[in-house]
């Protein structure tokens, strides 16, 4: 039997969480290896690209969270079979990565430089990102982004919306998603209540 | 018949070029809409996420170059059918995007700030990126990254290698790929000689 080991930070979000949920939803046993930042620091140089998540399939290292979302999503039935619906799903996966990169660029700044960078982000890219997502959700029918059902696109975006609405990012207002794209805020609230999402968190208690 | 219109900058590289090559390789007619930077500036706000490429399928806008690579790659027979080989292909597509984002972060800097950022990039991320790619190429068998044949992963990386080896990026030495990962430099040279790549450029003359 194939063994899967997913190594990621010990948080209920980010790039690793949609993959964990997909494994669980598909009934696929996996080792949920969770690291603190300090633990990652000690093994970082041993990873291929020096970041997480890392997925080991029978011990062989795989990187790139969106690649994992698609692969595990397919195994778990959370990725469209139809090519056009897969394209719609992929468009969301990829633009969420763009958003994470743009937020990541502001990390490490301090004081006024941080405030300026975050204000520029919020009023520029983040607004574009959220309005574009509204278009993509409407294209998908208003409830899901692709295939008229839950896919890894919905899970990936849920984690991003939680992050940018968390108040953990200085100068990013907690109500930004609700204010700019209420449909996207509603989507996140609905996805959080999906049975497979609730089942994952119930299994963690 | 489905119509395809790909809008991208008028360059033989970047995020749009692998998609053009895939269309051509698959014998799929598409409108190759090429814009200057000034032309893009006038239509930028009308695009979903304010960047290129944009693919219109029967007039409906699609964004995200990796999503297009997979979709058009499938149409053209340049994307693996096997799930694990697709994962290998995706890992390359995604890490090349990471590289583009990291280079993009240094744009707009000037003088010493530019030099410092590029030196840090070259000695840090770029070296990690190229060494990681060497691992991925070895995994694929040494010639291609996935499926023992040409896929969009090879085309995507070819454009990236050309870019970082072009001398167009200040403080990024032209021989960086050759010095750090000669196998990746050799791969790019081989992919440039693939019949479908040569046929595309021959068709443009």
The CATH number of residue B38's host domain is 3.40.30.10
Q: Inspect the interface and report whether the beta carbons of B135 and A63 lie closer than 8 Å.
A: no
B54 and B91 part of one domain: no
* Residue of chain A minimizing CA distance to B95: A64
Q: Inspect the interface and report whether the beta carbons of A95 and B64 lie closer than 8 Å.
A: yes
B39 and B125 part of one domain: no
Q: Which residues of B touch A74 (CB under 8 A)?
A: 83
Q: Inspect the interface and report whether the beta carbons of B91 and A63 lie closer than 8 Å.
A: yes
B74 and B140 part of one domain: no
pLDDT at A75: 98
- Partner residue opposite B94 with nearest CB, options A48, A67, A135: A67
Which of 40-59 (A) contact B at CB < 8 A? 48-50, 57
* Residue B204: inside a domain: no
* Residue A70: inside a domain: yes
B122 and B62 part of one domain: no
pLDDT at A4: 98
Q: Which residues of A touch B57 (CB under 8 A)?
A: 84
B45 and B96 part of one domain: no
B72 and B133 part of one domain: no
For A92-126, give one letter per residue: b (16+ CB within 10 A) or e: bbbbbbbbbbbbebbeeeeeeeeeebbeebbeebb
Min Cα–Cα distance to chain A from B99, Å = 11
* Residue B125: inside a domain: yes
A189 and A163 part of one domain: yes
* Residue B170: inside a domain: yes
pLDDT < 50 positions in chain B = none
The CATH number of residue A135's host domain is 1.20.1050.10
Q: What is the pairing mode between strands B4-9 and B31-35? A: parallel
* Residue B201: inside a domain: no
Which of B78, B110, B129 is the endpoint of a domain? Answer: B78
B54 and B116 part of one domain: no
For the full predicted model, state whether its pTM sits above 0.95: yes
Chain B interface mutation, best of A94, A96, A132, highest count of B Cβ atoms under 10 Å: A94
A65 and A89 part of one domain: no
Q: Which residue matches tokens 């494994």?
A: A23
pLDDT at B142: 98
* ipTM of the complex as predicted: 0.97
d(Cα B98, Cα B170) in Å, to the nearest integer?
19
Which of B78, B108, B132 is the endpoint of a domain? Answer: B78
List pLDDT tens digits, range B101-148. Answer: 999 999 999 999 999 999 999 999 999 999 999 999 999 999 999 999
B89 and B162 part of one domain: yes
Q: Inspect the interface and report whether the beta carbons of A90 and B75 lie closer than 8 Å.
A: no
Q: Which residue matches tokens 């140089």?
A: A45
Chain A contact present for B9, CB below 8 A? no
* Residue B205: inside a domain: no
Nearest to B130 by CA among B191, B66, B65, B185: B185
Tell me the torsion sign for CA atoms A31, A37, A39, A43: positive
Q: Which residue matches tokens 């799930």?
A: B83
Q: Inspect the interface and report whether the beta carbons of B86 and A71 lie closer than 8 Å.
A: yes
B189: tokens are 């040279």
* Residue A73: inside a domain: yes
Give me the domain span that covers residue A166.
Answer: 83-194
Radius of gyration of chain A (CA): 17
pLDDT at A122: 95
A30 and A68 part of one domain: yes
Interhelix angle B182-192/B195-203, rounded to 10 degrees, is 50
Chain B contact present for A109, CB below 8 A? no
Q: Are A105 and A113 in contact (CB under 8 A)?
A: no
Q: Which residues of B touch A121 (CB under 8 A)?
A: none
Q: How many domains does chain A have?
A: 2
Q: Which residue matches tokens 């995706």?
A: B90
B74 and B92 part of one domain: no
* Residue A205: inside a domain: no
pLDDT < 50 positions in chain A = none
Chain B interface mutation, best of A22, A62, A67, A128, highest count of B Cβ atoms under 10 Å: A67
Per-residue three-class SS string for chain B: CCCEEEEEECCCCCCCHHHHHHHHHCCCCCEEEEECHHHHHHHHHHCCCCCCCEEEECCEEECCHHHHHHHHHHHHCCCCCCHHHHHHHHHHHHHHHHHHHHHHCCCCCCHHHHHHHHHHHHHHHHHHHHHHHHHHHHHCCCCCCECCECCHHHHHHHHHHHHHCCCCCCCCCCCHHHHHCHHHHHHHHHHHCCHHHHHHHHHCC
Which of B50, B78, B106 is the endpoint of a domain? Answer: B78
pLDDT at B83: 97
pLDDT at B106: 94
Chain B contact present for A99, CB below 8 A? no
Chain B contact present for A170, CB below 8 A? no
């Amino acid at each position: 039997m194939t063994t899967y080991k997913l190594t990621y930070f010990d948080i209920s979000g980010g790039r690793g969480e949609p993959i964990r949920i997909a494994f669980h939803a598909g009934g696929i046993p996996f080792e949920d290896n969770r690291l603190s930042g300090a633990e990652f620091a000690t093994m970082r140089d041993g990873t291929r690209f020096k970041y997480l998540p890392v997925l080991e399939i029978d011990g062989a290292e795989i990187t790139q969270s969106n690649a994992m979302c698609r692969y595990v999503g397919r195994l778990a039935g959370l990725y469209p079979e139809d090519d056009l619906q897969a394209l719609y799903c992929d468009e969301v996966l990829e633009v969420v990565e763009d958003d994470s990169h743009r937020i990541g660029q502001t990390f490490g700044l301090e004081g006024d430089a941080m405030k300026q960078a975050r204000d520029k982000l919020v009023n520029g890219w983040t607004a574009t990102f959220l309005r574009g997502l509204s278009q993509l959700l409407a294209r998908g029918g208003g409830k899901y982004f692709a295939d008229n059902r839950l896919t890894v696109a919905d899970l990936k975006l849920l984690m991003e919306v939680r992050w940018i609405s968390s108040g953990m990012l200085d100068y990013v207002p907690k109500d930004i998603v609700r204010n700019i794209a209420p449909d996207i805020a509603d989507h996140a609230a609905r996805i959080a209540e999906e049975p497979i999402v609730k089942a994952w968190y119930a299994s963690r208690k």
